[in-house]
Amino acid sequence: MKAQKHRQWQTLIMAIAFTAAAALSLAITTPAQAQTQAVTKKNCFACFQEAHATDMMRFVTARDNASFQRYIDNGRCVMLKANLTVTIIKMQSFFSGGKVQFAIEGIKLWTAREMLHHYKY
C-alpha cells in the first residue's frame, strides 16, 4: 500500500515536471500565428541574419555607434521607416534574446522586439 502511494506521488510529480518543461520550451521560442502583424517604430534596425541582429542589440546597449553604422554601411542591416506593417514569422521570449523574425514585401529580417509595436494576433 505504501509503495503504491509512493508510485502515485512519483507519477504526479513527473507529470507536473513534464508539463512545466513543455510550457517553458514553448515560452522560449514561440512561433507566431500565420498572420500576426506588427508595426515598425522610429529608428527601427533590421538585419538579414539573426546573429547580426544580436550584434546590433549589443551595439545599442554599449552605445557603440561606429560598429552600428558599419553594419548598416556594409549592408548587414538596414534602417526601416516608422509605421511599416510587417508579418511576424518567429518571436523569441525575453529570456532567449528578445528577437523577432519578420517579413516585409517577401524579405525576411530580424530585429529586437522593442523595435516593433502594435502587435495584432
Copy the grid coordinates of residue 11: 507519477
**1 and 53 both lie in a single domain:** no
DSSP class of residue 70?
Answer: H
Query: What does the pLDDT read at residue 91?
Result: 86
Residues 12 and 36 in one domain: no
Please report the pLDDT score of residue 96 as a whole number: 63
Q: What is the pLDDT of residue 72?
A: 97
In this structure, the answer to whether residues 57 and 116 fall within a common structural domain is yes
The length of the chain is: 121
Is residue 80 located within the same domain as residue 92? yes
85 and 44 within one domain: yes
Domain containing 116 — which CATH number?
2.30.30
Domain extent, residue 10, equals: 1-29
Asked if residue 22 and residue 55 are part of one domain, the reply reads no
Question: Is residue 75 helix, strand or coil?
Answer: coil
Shared domain check, 58 and 69? yes
The Cβ of residue 115 has, within 10 Å, a number of other Cβ atoms equal to 24
Q: Show the low-confidence residues of the chain (pLDDT under 70).
A: 1-34, 94-97, 121
Give how many domains the chain has, as a whole number.
Answer: 2
**Residue 11 has what pLDDT?**
54
pLDDT of residue 119: 77
Residue 63, number of CB atoms within 10 A of its CB: 7
